[in-house]
């Protein structure tokens, strides 16, 4: 079976990996220059920084097995323990990639074909699928089955561009999915920050959701910070020039870290984390050979997004 998976975040990568290891021909498409989605790692002036997802945990047996493979291969290690609350008996182990978060999803698809810098402009279904790029010099791609793991608003926009219609209730449920926004500030630091290991602060200021020193985190040989803004700050300053955003964030960050930001860059996450999801871990249409998955279905954590992809792959396999 020839299957195309659009979106190479952890959901798309886990889905493609699961389908491939059961003998199906899988092609991944992603508009970015490399796979990983929000499991993103950047190298800047010799420093390594995670600027999307910062860590992951594993509670489900299926994801625990996947994490064990990463750990056995030396790809992932524990970072810190999250103290238990009333719903949990034990502290929950938070893990990180040894060289950042991005190598983990890329490891899953290391043997699979992937077309990056491929923007899916529209799709057509006539018993099988044709996927068209916005680049007229590229030929369309054919698929027996199509899996979309994009953020839900992007899925709906693709359907609209393609004049493709879903059941009214399904469309309504998809339209209710809501994401936060985030502006990430990445900076190399003049010296090691004043943070104590494991090197992060959660919600240190009303404008900030996360502040981390990647040196203390253990992924960078030199001190460099990752800063995630709050949703409210991101929406208020989304269209502001980068220098204006920096002017607002820099004093807060340098005060919290007790050192200066030297080199910097900003990254805007339009679909940072779902706050309202579809209500099921995936959606599947056997008749039109279409499956939808991702964090807008499974939930915002790395584990839930990965499980969405794995469970979607199970459903595709059972329908064939």
pLDDT, tens only, 106-153: 999 999 999 999 999 999 999 999 999 988 888 899 999 999 999 999
Domain 2-40+56-177+277-319 has CATH 3.10.180.10: no
Over residues 154-166, mean pLDDT: 97
Number of C-beta neighbours around residue 309 at 10 A: 34
Range with the lowest mean pLDDT among 217-221, 252-256, 316-320? 316-320
Average pLDDT over residues 256-260: 98
What pLDDT does 92 receive?
A: 83
Domain with CATH 3.50.50.60 in the chain: 2-40+56-177+277-319
Q: Are 297 and 282 contacting, i.e. CB atoms less than 8 angstroms apart? A: yes
Measured CA to CA in angstroms, residue 139 lies from 133, 134, 203, 291 at distances of: 8, 10, 47, 23
Give the CB-side neighbour count of residue 125, counting CA atoms within 13 A.
17
User: Does the pLDDT value for residue 83 go beyond 70?
Assistant: no
pLDDT band at 320 (very low <50, low <70, confident <90, very high): confident
pLDDT at 55 over 80: yes
Is the predicted pLDDT of residue 84 greater than 70, yes or no?
no
The CB density around residue 169, as the number of other CB atoms within 10 Å, is: 8
**Backbone φ, ψ for residue 22 (5° rounding):** -105, 20
Q: Which CATH class is domain 179-274?
A: alpha beta
Q: What is the pLDDT of residue 81?
A: 87
Q: How many CA atoms lie within 13 A of 151 on its CB side?
A: 18
Looking at the chain, which residues constitute the CATH 3.90.660.10 domain(s)? 179-274
Q: Is the dihedral of CA 154, 141, 122, 166 positive or negative?
A: negative
What secondary structure does DSSP assign to the chain, as a single string?
-EEEEE--SHHHHHHHHHHHHTT-EEEEE-SSSSS-TTS-EEEETTEEEE-S---B---SHHHHHHHHHHHHTTSEEEEEEEPP-TT-SSPEEEEEEBTBSTHHHHHHTTTS-EE-S--EEEEEESSSEEEEES-TTSPPEEESEEEE-S-HHHHHHHHHHTT----HHHHHHHHT-EEEEEEEEEEEESS--SPPTT-EEEEEETTEEEEEEHHHHTS-SS-EEEEEE-HHHHHHHTTS-HHHHHHHHHHHHHHHHTS-EEEEEEEEEEEEEEEE--SSSEEEETTTTEEEESHHHH-SSHHHHHHHHHHHHHHHHHH-
Please indicate, yes or no, whether the overall pTM of this predicted structure exceeds 0.85: yes
Among residues 242, 247, 250, the alpha carbon closest in space to that of 266 is found at: 242
Q: What is the pLDDT of residue 91?
A: 66
Q: Which residue has the higher pLDDT, 319 or 250?
A: 250
Q: For the residues 175-187, what does the mean pLDDT come to?
A: 98
| pLDDT tens digit sequence for 221-255 | 999 999 999 999 999 999 999 999 999 999 999 99
pLDDT value at residue 138: 84
For residue 1, what pLDDT is reported?
Answer: 83
Average pLDDT value for the chain:
95
CA distance 166 to 315: 19
């Amino acid at each position: 079976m020839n299957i195309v998976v659009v979106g190479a975040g952890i959901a798309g990568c886990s889905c493609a990996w699961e389908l491939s290891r059961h003998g199906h021909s899988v092609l991944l498409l992603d508009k970015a220059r490399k796979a990983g989605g929000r499991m993103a790692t950047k190298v800047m002036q010799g420093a390594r920084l995670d600027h999307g997802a910062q860590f992951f945990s594993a509670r489900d047996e299926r994801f625990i097995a996947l994490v064990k493979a990463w750990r056995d291969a030396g790809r992932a290690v524990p970072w810190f323990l999250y103290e238990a609350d009333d719903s949990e008996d034990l502290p929950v182990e938070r893990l990180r990639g040894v060289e950042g978060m991005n190598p983990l999803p890329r490891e899953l698809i290391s043997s699979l074909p992937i077309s990056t810098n491929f923007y899916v402009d529209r799709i057509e279904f006539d018993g099988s699928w044709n996927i068209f790029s916005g680049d007229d010099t590229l030929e369309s791609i054919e698929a027996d089955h199509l899996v979309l793991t994009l953020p839900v608003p992007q899925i709906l926009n693709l359907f609209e561009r393609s004049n493709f219609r879903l059941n009214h209730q399904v469309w309504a449920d998809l339209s209710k999915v809501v994401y936060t926004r985030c502006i990430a500030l990445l900076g190399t630091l003049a010296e090691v920050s004043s943070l104590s290991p494991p090197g992060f602060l959660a919600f240190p200021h009303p404008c900030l959701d996360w502040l981390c020193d990647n040196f203390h985190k253990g992924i960078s040989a030199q001190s460099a910070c990752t800063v995630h803004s709050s949703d409210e700050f991101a929406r208020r300053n989304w269209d502001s020039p980068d220098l204006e955003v920096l002017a607002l964030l820099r004093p807060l960050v340098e005060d919290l870290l007790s050192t200066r930001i030297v080199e910097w860059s900003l990254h805007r996450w339009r679909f940072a984390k779902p706050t309202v999801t579809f209500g099921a871990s995936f959606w599947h249409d056997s008749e039109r050979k279409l499956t939808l998955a991702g964090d807008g279905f499974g939930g915002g954590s790395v584990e839930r997004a990965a499980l969405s992809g794995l469970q979607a792959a199970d459903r595709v396999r059972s329908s064939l």
